[in-house]
Amino acid sequence: MKIWVLKKPRKTSYVWIVRAYDPITKKTKDLETFPKNKKTQAEAFATEQKLEQPENVMPADISFDVAFKEYKEMVLKDDKLREETRLLKCSLINNHVIPYINKDSNFNGVVSKVKVEKLADYTYFYFKHGFISQVLKSGKTIVHNAKLRDGGGIVVKRLKDPIGKKLVKEVVGEFKMFVRYCLDRKWKLPREILDYSFSKNYFQDYEIKEQWVPNKDTVNKIIYEEKDLLNKALFMTAAICGPRLNEILAVTYCGIDLKSDPPTVSFEHSVDKWNGFLEKKLKAGRKRVVPISDELAVLFKNLMEQQKNPRKEKQYKLIFGSLTKASSKGRIRTAAKKLGVKWVGGLKPLRKFKYSLTREQGILTEIQARQQQGWSMESKTPGRYYHKDLDNNPEKTKEAVNKFLN
């Protein structure tokens, strides 16, 4: 940005003009005009403007519609991100950012929301006191396929329930990334947005959903009364190893070592949102080898002998390749329904159960427990969401209570 002071004649005198030139947009703009006896003030003003950010001196005439379009195109072309991550980022922008780029308008005493069209017209006040409050009330969305009689295609439906604390933070984080993208392009947006953070107690009024974890009797009943070999191996793998579902569905034949002592299963690959195989990609970032029981080893051996044409991905044969995320959830829910036992969700409760029971038994160290399930020691997830007292010995609890004051 080039800024200078020039002398410009008038009919009877002259004035000092502070002018700016933007080499990106190739536009010239007069920033301020000073009387002939105010040359020093004009030079001081020019110096001040040189220290200002270029996008603040001469903001590019860019609309939010154009900026969001270009940002999403950049995200979708980013090969460093997995496809489901790219789609999620664009979904956050479409459903929880774009609808709230507005400001309050008061007309005849009636306050309404009016869309802010230009980046240069958006202020930090609009963000802090408008955008944030609206995001907190933003409804959840679901995506489903419309019926052919209604035209078909994908339809996004907004629900009444507001999004949770985690998603609110993700939305604000995505908006900050959009702001950073605009500033890199020399497009004006308030830099203070990048410094915004929620206070420690900001979400104290948010209701925390109860994390349901099955007890040992329920898990045993689900596993040992199951007749289908594939289901039984699936349920026992989830309960004994505690992996993520996308890791279970990517277990390979070569990842199962039945000759080691104890036998082991390796979690090295995963599947994406659409059950597509992701070679050597894990959320934890690295392969982990988990010991398994002799009973599960026998199930794996029998299952591999029974499978005639297992699903193959590259050079790998998948032991649970015939399943998807949805069908896995359906199988355990169906099994629970047949037995008349309570079950919430899909296989995820078994991941919680594994860690909870490990903590309750106290046989493995905390490092071993976390490593087996793919958590680092810095992760706050285990303690915050997964450790539950399963009360697997109610008789001892009753005895302790009765003896407490005796």
158's tokens: 């907004």
CA nearest neighbour of 341 among 211, 210, 209, 214? 214
CA 72/CA 87 separation, integer angstroms: 9
Q: What percent of the chain has pLDDT over 70?
A: 94
Q: Count CA atoms within 13 Å of residue 107 on its CB side.
A: 5
Helix axes 294-306, 229-241, angle to 10 degrees: 140
Dihedral sign, Cα of residue 49, residue 52, residue 55, residue 59: negative
Per-residue model confidence as pLDDT tens digits over 68-122: 999 999 999 998 888 888 999 999 999 999 999 999 887 777 778 999 999 989 9
The distance of Cα 153 from the centroid of its chain, to the nearest Å, equals 25
Cα diameter, the chain: 106
Residues 242-263 have a mean pLDDT of 94
Per-residue model confidence as pLDDT tens digits over 15-55: 999 998 887 777 888 888 999 999 999 999 888 888 877 77
CA nearest neighbour of 256 among 327, 320, 325? 320
End-to-end CA distance of the chain: 83
- Residue 152's pLDDT band, with cuts at 50, 70 and 90, is low
CA 126/CA 102 separation, integer angstroms: 7
Residue 390 · residue 213 · CB < 8 Å? yes
CA 38/CA 300 separation, integer angstroms: 88
**Contacts from 194-197 at CB under 8 Å and sequence distance 24+?**
196/127, 196/128, 196/132, 196/172
- pTM > 0.85: no
CA 184/CA 252 separation, integer angstroms: 44
H or E stretch covering 316: strand 316-317
- Residue 211's pLDDT band, with cuts at 50, 70 and 90, is confident
